[in-house]
Amino acid sequence: MAKTARCPSCGATVEFKSVVSVLAVCDYCQSTLVRHGEEIENLGKMAELIEDRSPLQRGAEGRWQGLHFGLIGRIQLRHEQGLWNEWHLLFDNGKSGWLSEAGGEYVMSAPLRVTEPLPAFADIAIGQSYVIADHSFSVTNILTAECVAGEGELPFKVGAGYAAPVVDLRSDSGGFATFDYSDSAERPLVFVGESVAFKSLAWANLRENIPLPEVTVKARAFNCPSCGSPLAVNHQNIETVGCGSCGAVLDTRHETVALLATATAAVKQPRLPLGTQGTLRGDKVEVIGYMKRCMKADGVEYCWDEYVCLGADAKPVWLTQYDGHWNIARVVNRAVRAVGDVRFDSEDYKHFQGYEARVQYVIGEFPWRVKIDEAARVDDYVSPPRMLSREQTGNEETWTLAEYVEPAEIEAAFVVAVPKPVGVYANQPNPHESRHRAVCGFFWKLALAGLAVHLLLLILGPGGTLFKQPLTFDPQDDEPKLTREFKLSSDGSRLEIAHRTGITNNWLGLNMTLVNTNTGQAWQESREIARYEGVDGGESWSEGSRDDEIVFGDLPAGTYVLAIDHDMDAKSGPLHSELNVARPGPRWSSLILLLLALAPFPIWTRIRRGSFEVKRWAESDHPIVTASDDGDD
């Protein structure tokens, strides 16, 4: 049941809806009131909230995990990179929670009692893992924020200037956790929840005329204090502006614009002018900022363009460009585990390269504090056409997922001309991949079809043994060997004559005459069977074969007999053989020849695909070593 009290300063009614609320800000005079049982203490005036064009307000309602809630208070916090809101929630079951609203991302969380020991704030480091509520979380951000202002009901005493050391953690399943060290640097309060889509909370009673996050506000114009050029802020929550004339970086948080830094390199205008609007992958975006970043490798400096765009949901969208290669990128809102290579969304990403990226100069508007020469350790992992990049600073780790965009798509989205790509980029799709897959698919279809036909002919075809006959060849016997008569029932028949012997270190010459007894027509063939083997220098050797087979083709129908004359070493003993006369079916060699004829096509497309990959990885920390490279070494 809600409790009410009178504001000691103005007499207005102040309501405490939640039993956990110990502080409320008077809506009329902004006095900060603390409840001590039935007593109300006035801590003085709360600073006024900074207008941030949030679509939320006290009294807004939504649903999360099946529970209805209402917004009953908030605090505004600022840190080096910008401003964000923490909204205090009251659920219908009487429990409270929090909704974080920062940079277009919304995170729902609730307090969690943790009995396990947790580290002190000074002992936390980026990348450390902790198990909370049976889930593993990794530290992604460490910061000390300052309370700017507050309103409504809050579960703790707070005021302008209140320090808030906090640690953000994420899980690889999208879970979110916060260690809040505001009350104690040794033992934090723990909040656990998840990143959510704004619309998924089924909002009601949002701020009038601001039903969803918007990107534009009334422009604020001023002159650059460094060069006098006219500048303006056209979007919400802009922390810094880069002057396009002189490269000065300006702090725009206050009405009096402050000069933060001057550019150390010549400023060049971006290919996509600031303010350019377009539709990219179905989303309307506007280019609001441009950053030139560089890295050095082997003493050579490489620079690329990064454009900050705002979409309809006010979330930053990145466009990067290097040598005509474009990527669209968004920050990943969950932890990514990097041990060697990376697996993300059931896809494997290989480490491409690691380097230090520095900001050379900036132009336009940025929702965070930009610094000239700011350095970050970057590691890129690729799975074309996507690339995962991890940026690490002293107290923050950010993962970004990028996807390669063809220049034609950029031209169509923003109606501008862009240069053609040069070389091969890290996550550029291999143009030969689809062709290779298609050719391989066609190869295996033909191979399977050939195998199926071959097996069908083996089962149903005319092949089969007509008869078998044992034969003995003796050097003292010069009479020809005659087989029994056999019939071929159709013209164009094929006949296979096979001899299986057991000779060793010997030879046998065969002169065969196949006679059609109906017509007297004859076909002759001579064959030699030889097999030798032994041991030379302790190693076994062999040559020749004990068996032989020959095929007579295109024979007319009729009755046949085979006569065999033999020739052999006069000193040889008798040689035994088995004669096999058969109608031959399809030969495996035919299938092998078919495969050999088809194989050059997938081999060629594979070579082309592999050549592209060699060029891609030549620019990485893990180049592909080829045979020619080994020879050079």
Q: Any idea which of 259-263, 335-339, 340-344, 566-570 has the lowest mean pLDDT?
A: 259-263
Is 60 exceeded by the pLDDT of residue 41? no
CATH code, domain carrying 496: 2.60.120.380
Lowest mean pLDDT among 25-29, 82-86, 203-207, 247-251: 25-29
Residue 452 has pLDDT above 50, yes or no: yes
In this prediction, residue 18 has a pLDDT band, given cuts at 50, 70 and 90, of: low
The lowest-confidence range among 55-59, 155-159, 315-319 is 155-159
Q: Name the strand (E) or helix (H) holding 153.
A: strand 135-154
Mean pLDDT value across residues 213-239 = 65
Tell me whether residue 162 is in a domain.
yes
What does the pLDDT look like over 527-581, one tens digit per residue? 999 999 999 988 999 999 999 999 998 899 999 999 999 999 989 999 999 999 9
Residue 420 domain flag: no
Do 397 and 507 reside in the same domain of the chain?
A: no
Residue 428 inside a domain? The answer is no
Question: Domain check: are 498 and 394 in the same one?
Answer: no
More confident residue, 331 or 245: 331
Question: Residue 140 above 80 pLDDT?
Answer: yes
What is the count of structural domains for the chain? 4
Higher pLDDT, 232 or 608: 608
Q: Which of 201, 229, 259 is the last residue in one of the domains?
A: 201
pLDDT per residue as tens digits for the range 86-113: 999 989 888 889 999 887 789 999 999 8
User: Do 469 and 568 share a structural domain?
Assistant: yes
Mean pLDDT of 168-187: 87
**pLDDT, mean of residues 336-350:** 87
pTM (global) more than 0.75: no
pLDDT beyond 70 at 292: yes
Q: Which residues contact 538 (CB under 8 A, 6 or more apart)?
A: none
* Helices (H), ranges, 308-423: 407-414
**Is 238 part of any domain?**
yes
Q: What is the mean pLDDT of the chain?
A: 83
User: Tell me, what's the pLDDT at 430?
Assistant: 94
Spatial contact of 465 and 497, defined as CB atoms under 8 Å apart? no
Phi–psi pair at 95, nearest 5 degrees: -85, 155
Backbone phi and psi for residue 91, each to the nearest 5 degrees, phi listed first: -85, 160
398 and 361, same domain (yes or no): yes
- Which run of H or of E encompasses 614? helix 600-617
What is the predicted pLDDT for the residue at 258? 63
Q: Indicate the burial class of 509 (C-beta count within 10 angstroms; 0-12, 13-18, 19 or more).
A: middle
501, 520: one domain: yes
- Residue 217: band (very low, low, confident or very high) from pLDDT cuts 50, 70, 90: very low
**Beta-carbon neighbour count of residue 138 at 10 Å?**
21
φ and ψ of 415, to 5 deg:
55, 55
Same domain? 241 vs 299: yes
Angle between helices 588-598 and 433-460 (to 10 degrees): 170
Q: Which residues of 620-630 are buried (b: 16+ CB within 10 A; e: fewer)?
A: beeeeeeeeee
Give the DSSP H/E element, type plus range, for residue 326.
strand 325-331
Q: Please state the rounded mean pLDDT for residues 421-428.
A: 94
Task: Tell me if 50 sits within 8 A of 71, measured CB to CB.
Answer: no
| Residue 362, number of CB atoms within 10 A of its CB | 29
Task: Categorize the per-residue pLDDT at 69 as very low, low, confident or very high, splitting at 50, 70 and 90.
Answer: very high
Mean pLDDT value across residues 208-214: 49
Q: What is the largest CA-CA distance in the chain?
A: 138
* Domain end call among 143, 167, 201: 201
The total of other beta-carbon atoms located within 10 Å of residue 245's CB is: 15
Distances (CA, A) of 309 to 46, 294, 317, 319: 35, 20, 5, 7
Q: Based on the domain organization, do 451 and 466 belong to the same domain? A: no
In a domain, 554, yes or no: yes
Final residue of a structural domain among 139, 172, 201: 201
pLDDT in tens, 478-525: 889 999 999 988 888 889 899 999 899 999 999 999 999 999 999 999
Interatomic CA distance for residues 111 and 622, integer angstroms: 45
- The Cα–Cα gap between 143 and 190 comes to 15
* Tokens 């006095």 sit on residue: 31
Radius of gyration of the chain measured on its C-alpha atoms: 41
Whether cis (ω within 30° of 0) applies to the bond prior to 421 is no
206 falls within a domain: no
At residue 325, the pLDDT reads 96
Asked whether residue 102 is assigned to any structural domain, the reply reads yes
Looking at the structure, tell me whether residues 498 and 362 fall in a common domain: no
Which is more confident, 463 or 445? 445
Domain around 384? 216-414
Asked whether residue 537 falls in the same domain as residue 607, the answer is: no
One domain for residues 39 and 160 = yes
Has residue 42 got a pLDDT over 50?
Answer: no
**In terms of domains, do 502 and 628 share one?**
no
- Same domain for 245 and 389, yes or no, is yes
The mean per-residue pLDDT over the stretch 223-232 comes to: 72
The 8-class DSSP code of residue 121 comes to G
Residue 604 has phi, psi (to 5 degrees) of: -65, -45
Model pLDDT for residues 116-136, shown as the tens digit of each residue: 888 999 999 888 889 888 888
Asked if residue 207 belongs to a domain, the reply is: no
Give the model's pLDDT for residue 301.
92
